[in-house]
Structure 1
């Protein structure tokens, strides 16, 4: 596995840290973020990446970024095989590197799931935490512990 030293930048400002990230993790994270939220905001990208990392840390999912991203029926079809636009890929890769270096969307919390914001599911165990980048992010909880059963109003401009 190759490692890359990545200088993180965002919003036109150079961040004070550089991170060493695994090249395979970076490729898988970039692809997941690109195909799940590539036409959205940086917030939407970081939120998708935060969900990936929450899954990596959960015993219910594979314990690697690539394991999570390639898990059957979890991410966009063709996530690892479709072509990415060279125009958008650098922006997405910067956000992916930031997530791998520890950045998280501040409203994601423990959410490990999301769907397109316009979708309305009929389940009673979905506790919504944020809507951003065209997706609604949620935690699965016991029905009696759900206090936000529908997607919240969309917010943008939270991440750096």
Structure 2
């Protein structure tokens, strides 16, 4: 076989392998594609924004994402909400998820996608790291979970 034929065969094999990865998934994560599923976007927000060992914190973050999804002021897809500039952790849609928190995030994302919500979050659409305080009088705190404090923006008093 000539060198050119070998090169062509290797290129074809690589192309077939790459295309087959597009259908491969683990915990709902699609590998080999540039497009993330709605579940993966939700998982990533929950993974990067909460204490990775806290199911309650992940559920609370997932609830905020879904609360935003159903508000006209926010994008109409989970990935659009999670990918909004300056709203979630830097690199939330691109950084690697590397520890056992991935399994919990996948499980919690499934629950949120099926309609489960954290009752303590209620209609809250905002949160920040627990322990921080801001001088604004329009933040009504409803819950602390997973290293975050969740709040509802109210009219200034």
Do structure 1's residue 62 and structure 2's residue 75 form an aligned pair? Answer: yes
Residue of structure 2 equivalent to 1:30 = 43
Residue equivalent to 2:156: 143
Q: Which has the higher strand share?
A: 1
Runs of 4+ in 1 over 4 A off after TM superposition: none
Conservation of the 8 A alpha-carbon contact between 1:40 and 1:134 = no
Q: CA deviation at 1:116?
A: 0.3
How far residue 113 of structure 1 moved from its aligned partner, in angstroms, is 0.1
The corresponding residue for 1:78 is: 91
Query: SS at 2:37's partner residue?
Result: helix
SS in 2 for 1:50: helix
Gaps of 5+ in 1: 7-22, 145-160
Give the TM-score taking structure 1 as reference length. 0.74
Aligned counterpart, 1:100? 113
Structure 2: how far apart are the matches of 1:86 and 1:131?
23
| Counterpart for residue 42 of structure 1 | 55
Aligned length: 125
Aligned 8 A contact 2:53 2:104 in 1:
no
Structure having the higher helix fraction is 2
Point out where structure 2 has 5 or more consecutive residues left out of the alignment: 1-22, 28-35
Q: What is the distance in 2 between the residues matched to 1:63 and 1:48? A: 17
Contact 1:28/1:66 (CA < 8 Å) preserved in 2? yes
Instruction: Kindly state the Cα deviation for residue 91 of structure 1 after the two structures are TM-superposed.
Output: 1.0
The SS at the match of 1:48 is helix
Provide the TM-score with structure 2 as the length reference: 0.75
Displacement, 1:85?
Answer: 1.4
Q: For the residues of structure 2 that align with 1:94 and 1:42, how far apart are their CA atoms?
A: 9
Q: In angstroms, what is the RMSD of aligned CA positions?
A: 1.8
